Amino acid sequence: MATTSGTRAGPSHRVSVSLTDEQHRGLCELAQKNSVSIAWVIREAVNRLLQDDMPLLYVGRE
């Protein structure tokens, strides 16, 4: 698992996802602008989502 500092703790897992052209283009631009890899951007987004107690999973639920 990657941490926000970019170090890995324990074994890592490979995940495959399909993105729209717009999503991929946005990730490429964000990564290039910040001199990081697309993978880093995705791992950082996942870390932030998990730290925020996964709010996307609770949208519209009571």
Q: Is 53 left (phi over 0), alpha (psi -120 to 50) or beta?
A: left
Residue 33 within any structural domain of the chain: yes
Residue 30 within any structural domain of the chain: yes
Residue 62 within any structural domain of the chain: no
* CA separation for the pair 26, 43 (Å, rounded): 15
Does residue 23 or residue 4 have the better pLDDT? Answer: 23
User: 52 pLDDT band (50/70/90 cuts)?
Assistant: confident
Residue 4 within any structural domain of the chain: no
Per the structure, the complete domain to which residue 41 belongs is given by 21-54
Residue 62: pLDDT over 60 = no
Q: What mean pLDDT, rounded, does the chain reach? A: 83
* DSSP one-letter string for 2-54: B-TTS-B-S----------HHHHHHHHHHHHHTT--HHHHHHHHHHHHHHTT-
Structural domains of the chain, count? 1
Residue 45 within any structural domain of the chain: yes
